[in-house]
Every structure is written in structure tokens, then in C-alpha cells.
A and B are shown apart, each in its own frame.
Chain A
């Protein structure tokens, strides 16, 4: 008896009682579907996170200097720049960022949602922002604390009809001249990343009281070295302050890594829980196979009388159980994909977030081989029972 004959026999038997076979597979179907959707959800969330972080810039690092105690020890911009220059393998560009809270007025209109930030000349490069018209903030602006600004495309389009260069706007009553317009980044919505104003950081810190705290944004040379670069910065800062509460360093890439690994732990735990239902499904298959072996005692007797060796009977039942389970796996995979698409649709409808539930080929193959393996594992015991039946008793069985 060849394997293809064995396979054919198993297929025929499964197809001859479809309903029963389907019910037998149910546990496997549910288990595989759950595993596929959960893995797909993990992938979707990871991609979503990666994209969100990419918007922030994965090669960015933020340094916040809080300063220490009453002695007002605070590192200056120049000192921080020195650290950057001393570590060319870790850091590249640096720019201060000063958040302003003053009211913005364009003509007679007050802009509540617009964010105003004081930045250095390299800020636009660090954040991958492109100047569409005019120029960016320059070194002279920093030096002379000029009242110039670069505006986002939203403001340019809605407030200045696309011709913002040379026009003026007011921040906290001070008049700023628009010298540059940024390329559209998001979708030019109010309060979005195109509803922004950038001014020289030096001008900004003069206008707004930020206390001792100052924030800087840097680019790191290599994302792969993110946590090492972070340590370099932390060590340098610790040497200065001798106190690790005086500063905060966060690298986007490192944060992404941390969050991804946390997410992976959660997803793995969920997948394992879903995997338990695969084991339950396997026990269901074993149960039905045991019933089936008993029901087919006479068939086993006949086959043995006609010359079937034990290994053929064993092969027949194991193949049947493995095929049942594998079919359940395939149905589960198909259902998993359908459900993934449905969940993606639901997320898009219910939340603003763009999470695509996308099962990867690896987890699909894994789910399939586990289900086939479960069929073999849980089918073996009933098959062994069948193979070892005494032909005389089996023939006499009704």
C-alpha cells in the first residue's frame, strides 16, 4: 500500500461524512483562526507603531535638561554641542526646541490650535522637514534673535492664500515676518503637523519664560546603536550633573525597540493561549478517532483478514487524523485571513488608527504544521489501538 493510496482512503473517509469531519476539525479551526488573527494583529500593531515612530524620526534623540537643585547648575547649549562634536560616531545634528504658549494672531484672527516652537538652524534637517518656499531658520537668526518665522503649509494655504512669504503674523503681540513655508507633511488640517510656526530658539526663549529646563533634539548616526548612543549621552550628562535626575534622554529607536519587544511579549502570550485551543482541538480529534476506531472494528477485522499488516492500519488511521487536522488548519488559515480583513475594516471604521491586521507567511506555515502535527500526535494512540486489534475478535464485532 503506497502513501498516495493511504491518502486517498483517508480523503474518501473524511468526505463521506462531511458534517462529522467538520465538527471534528472545529477545535483546530478555531485555534488556528485565533492564532492567525492574533499574530496578524501583532504585526499590524508593530507596523503602526513603527510608522508613528518614523513620523517622529527613528534616528532622533531628545535630551531634556532639568537642571540641578538650588545651585542652578545648568548645562549650556554650547556645552551640549561640544558633547555632540566629541562623539561623531554617535551624534550628528542638534537643535534646541523651545515650546511657546503665546497666542498667535494672523490679521484679526486668533489661531488657537497652531503650535509655536523655537528651533535651531538644523532643526528642519533633523526632522526631515522640507522648505517649499523661501528659507529656513538660519544661524544669523539665532545670533541676532530676529523676529522671523517659518510656517506650515496649512497656515500658508488657509491664511495667506499660498503667498505667505513676506507677510507678518503676531505671537504674543510681537510681529514676525514669514520667511519660509514648509512642504505639506500630513493633510493640512487644523492643529495637525502642517498647522505650525517655527521661530529662532533664541527669540523664543527671550519671549517665553521656560525656567531652567531646556530641551534639545539630536540625530543619532546609527539606529542600530540607539541604546549605546543613549548611554554615551547619559554618561556625559552624568559627569556634568553628578545626578541622574537632572536630565532625561530618550531615543526614538530605542523606545520603539522597547515597545516592540513589549508588544511581542503580549502577542506571544495571547498566541500561546490561542494555541491551547489547538491542543483542546487535538484532544477532540483523538476522541472522535477513538470512536471511529471502535465503529470500524469490523472493517479493521476484514482488512486484517485480507492481509493488511499492522503498520498499514496504523498508517491509515494516522493519515486520516492528520489529514482531518490539516484540513482544519487550512480552513482556519482561510478564516483567519477573512477575519483579519474584517478586523482591519472594523479598526479603520471605529478608530482613526490605520492598523492593518496582516498575518505573515511564517505564522501561517507554523499554524499549519502545528495542526498537522497535532493530528499525527493525537491520532497515533487510536491508530495504535486499531492496528493491534485481534483479527478474530474484530471480525466478530457488530
Chain B
């Protein structure tokens, strides 16, 4: 069964100008993600993960090349269209949870639905259902600060799922958690994937990347590995890096 392509990077580059010098945070990156895949993007610090994640998340546009999200060329969109795309097609899970502190859990999960124009009643129901799903149905009126980090991250998973997006984008989702709650969150992401969602996980940690099916390894803005997680080469440290450390 040929799966539908959701994410397609065609020669994507992102160039930053720092005074006179030019930094290629992403350098001619090519890859595709198909519907229902669970992909981990890994790499050392500064390798360009966040750059790619910003582009995938439509928070930023490529300097060169094309990024197609479900066949739509994101590079040609204006800021409002990007906002609409983020709202409809993407569910974000951030390292710092990024919940709105003054809103209770239910209201937090409702936010993307509100911007989508979902009527109040339906919004309530969908948000409540999403919170039930992550096991927080009994805490809907709590404020984020009244929860543990792991619970907060579950709220942000619920928020990402509530709008039924095409892609769930998780940026270091376990970075602020201890290893036990981190594993819990990862299990939940695997569950989300098993239910048919496309998940892109960004991490610098090989152990966490191992929960995915496929690994894209970045180094200095280039893809140095793209293949199944089971391949022994998936977790080989790039040469350049080991040399630098050795010096």
C-alpha cells in the first residue's frame, strides 16, 4: 500500500547571516515523511534540528528549496496562511510544555480549536475527550501550575491531538522530565502513533530516538543518515564530531 506523502523537503536550505559570515543551518536537506510514520530527527547541538523543526512546523520558511506539507508549498504562504496551516495541520509538543498559565487544562486544550473557529459546545467536548485520553479527565479545571511536569506534558499532548492535525511535532518532549516520566510520555507518543498519527520527534538523545521507527540524523545542516531505527548505522556518531572531541 503506497502511503500518502505528508512532509516533503526538496533541497531545503536555511541561511542565517551573522555579520559577514553566513551560517547554513540546513544545507540542501531532502527527505519525505509518509502518513503514519514515526520519525526521529536526531543530531548534536547546533546540527540544525530546531531549524528543520521550525520549518516543518511552519513557524519559519526555507531560504532555498521547497517544503511541501500535504502537497502545499509552505514557502509561498504569508503569515496568516502559515498560522492557518499550523492550526489545521500541526500539533506541537514543546520541551517546556508551553501551556498558558492563567487558563485551566480544558481551556488550554481548547485554544487551537478556538482559533479554528470550532463552536464553544463542540470545543468543550473535544477538549474534554482529548484530556480523558491522556488520563487527565479528572483534572480539567486545574491550572497547569497545579500539575507535575509529566502531567503538564500530557496536557500538551492532548492539546496537540485535539485539533486532529496531520502531523504531531514533538521537540525534545522529555527534555524537562526525569527518565521515568519521560518514558511515560514516550509511551504515550508511541500510542498516538499506533492510532494512525504521523509523529515527528526531535531529540539529541539516541535513546529517545530509539522509540521511533525511522531516524534522520543531521550533522552541520546535512542529513548523514536516513533509515530504519534498527540499522546499526543509525546511532553511529559522525566522524567530524568525534574528531573534534578527541582534539
Which chain A residues have a beta carbon within 8 Å of chain B's beta carbons?
A: 1, 5, 12-13, 16, 298-299, 301-312, 391-392, 395
Task: Check if B111 sits within 8 Å of A306, measured CB to CB.
Answer: yes
Task: Check if B84 sits within 8 Å of A309, measured CB to CB.
Answer: yes
With A1-B114, A5-B114, A310-B79 already in contact, the answer to whether A305 and B102 are too (CB < 8 A) is no
Residues of B within 8 A of A5 (CB): 114
With A310-B79, A392-B60 already in contact, the answer to whether A305 and B92 are too (CB < 8 A) is yes
Task: Check if B100 sits within 8 Å of A307, measured CB to CB.
Answer: no
> Is B203 located at the chain interface by the 8 A CB criterion?
no
Task: Check if A391 sits within 8 Å of B114, measured CB to CB.
Answer: no
Task: Check if A306 sits within 8 Å of B87, measured CB to CB.
Answer: yes
Residues of A within 8 A of B67 (CB): none
Task: Check if B112 sits within 8 Å of A306, measured CB to CB.
Answer: yes
Main secondary structure of the interface of A (DSSP, over half): helix
Task: Check if B115 sits within 8 Å of A307, measured CB to CB.
Answer: yes
A39 to B102 alpha-carbon distance, docked (Å): 41
Contact of A299 among B86, B100, B112, B115 (CB under 8 A): B100
A121 to chain B, nearest CB (A): 82
Contact of B83 among A298, A299, A307, A392 (CB under 8 A): A307
> Is B48 located at the chain interface by the 8 A CB criterion?
no
A306 to B169 alpha-carbon distance, docked (Å): 12
A376 to chain B, nearest CB (A): 22
A50 to B14 alpha-carbon distance, docked (Å): 78
With A16-B102, A310-B83 already in contact, the answer to whether A303 and B59 are too (CB < 8 A) is no
> Is B54 located at the chain interface by the 8 A CB criterion?
yes
From 48 to 88 in chain B, residues with beta carbon under 8 angstroms from any chain A beta carbon are 54, 57, 59-60, 79-80, 83-84, 86-88
A351 to B115 alpha-carbon distance, docked (Å): 62
Could you list 9 A-B pairs, sorted by A, with CB under 8 Å? A13-B102, A298-B98, A304-B86, A306-B92, A306-B115, A307-B115, A310-B79, A310-B80, A392-B54
A12 to B103 alpha-carbon distance, docked (Å): 9
A333 to B117 alpha-carbon distance, docked (Å): 37
Contact of A391 among B59, B100, B115, B116 (CB under 8 A): B59
